[in-house]
Amino acid sequence: MKTPDWEIPPNLRPDPDDYSFDLERALRGLVGLRANVPADAFTAGTLGTERMGSGAVIREDGLVLTIGYLITEAESVWLVGADGRATPGHPVAVDATTGLGLVQALGRLGLPALEIGGADGAGTGQQMVMAAGGGGRERAVETKVIGRQEFAGYWEYLLDEAILTAPAHPFWSGAGLIGADGRLLGIGSLIMQQGDGRGRRHDLNMSVPASLLPPVLDDLLTLGRVKAPPRPWLGAFVMEGEGGLVVGGLADEGPAERAGVRPGDRVVGIGDEEVGDLATLWRKLWASGPAGVTVRLNLARDGTPMAVHVATADRARFLRAPRLH
C-alpha cells in the first residue's frame, strides 16, 4: 500500500542541521493512516467512508496517536510507514473530550516512538516547530507556534488551549507537531484562516495538545473511554456568527432533532442563563448534568422566542463500537 502522492516543497521542509535531535529518526515515528468506515455508520455522511491522514507512534509496541475523527466507527485501519509498508491496526478508542484517537498496530511496526512533550513545550512567541505527516521529511513543514487559545467547535467540542501554527500543513489530519526537543507536542486537527489586519487571510493549523493524553491514557486503553459520566449531547451543529449562535444542522434522529429544534433557529440561552458564544453554550450544557439530563434551550425562530426541552444523550451510543480482535 503506497503513501499518498504528495510532497511538501523543499523550501518549506525542516533542515536536519537546524535541530539538535535526530530529525530523520523522529520523522520515522510518523505513519500514514487510512481508515474505512461502513456506509451506514452514523458519521459516514459527515466524515466520509474513506479517511486518510497520519498518526504518531507513541509506544514501541505500535500504539499510535491520531486525531479521533479519522478512526471514528472505522471498520478497518491501515498504518503506512515511510517505506510504504502497510500494517493493519485496531482502533482502540476515540476520546470525544480531547478529540484524540488511539490505534494499536496488529503487526510489528519496527518504528521509533515519539515521547510526548509537556504543555509548556509549545509556547507562543513564534516558537519554531514542525508539522509532519507519515512519509518522512518530504511530508514535513517547518512552522511556528503563533498562539495558544481557547477553541470551540460547532460539533459540541471545546479545548481550553489549542495550539495554532503557521504556515499550515496542507495535509493536517493527524499530523504530528514536533518541538525543538524532538518531543510530540500536538496532533493536527483543522486548517483555519486568520486575518492579518491588512485585509489578507492566512492559513493556519489547529492542533490538539498531546499533553492531554497521558491523564486519560490508562482509561482509554482499558475501557475504550474515559472513566467518567458521559457528557450530555444535543446533536446540534451550532455556528457562531455576527447574529449570535445559529443552528446550522442537526444529527439525524439526534436529541435536538427529536425535540423539535430546526436549522436556522438562534440559540439565545440554556436553562435560566443567556449564552452568546459557543464556549459558554457548551460549558453550560456540560454543567447541567450527565448524558440523559433534559435541558431547556431558549431559541428564537423567525424572531419569535420559544423554549425547547431536549432530552440529551450519550454521543457514543449513536456510534459503532470498534470491532474486537
Residues 115-154 have pLDDT tens digits of 999 866 565 555 789 999 999 999 999 999 999 999 999 9
Domain membership of residue 142 (yes or no) is yes
Does 146 share its domain with 200?
Answer: yes
Domain membership of residue 263 (yes or no) is yes
Does 105 share its domain with 128?
Answer: no
Whether pTM exceeds 0.95: no
The range of the structural domain enclosing residue 107 comes to 10-113+217-223
Long-range pairs for 1-7: beta carbons < 8 A, 24 or more residues apart: 1/34, 1/78, 1/80, 1/84, 1/86, 2/80, 2/84, 3/32, 3/80, 3/82, 3/84, 3/134, 3/135, 3/139, 4/32, 4/52, 4/135, 4/171, 6/139, 6/170, 6/171, 7/138, 7/139
Domains of the chain: total: 3
Does 170 share its domain with 260?
Answer: no
Contact call for residues 193 and 202 (beta carbons, < 8 A) = yes
Does 61 share its domain with 86?
Answer: yes
- Which tens digit of pLDDT belongs to each residue from 20-39? 999 999 999 999 999 999 99
Domain membership of residue 325 (yes or no) is no
- Which tens digit of pLDDT belongs to each residue from 207-257? 999 999 999 999 999 999 999 999 999 999 999 988 899 999 999 999 999
Does 275 share its domain with 311?
Answer: yes
Last residue of a domain, one of 167, 199, 223: 223
Domain membership of residue 125 (yes or no) is yes
Q: How confident is the model at residue 200 (pLDDT cuts 50, 70, 90)?
A: confident
CATH number at residue 14: 2.40.10.10
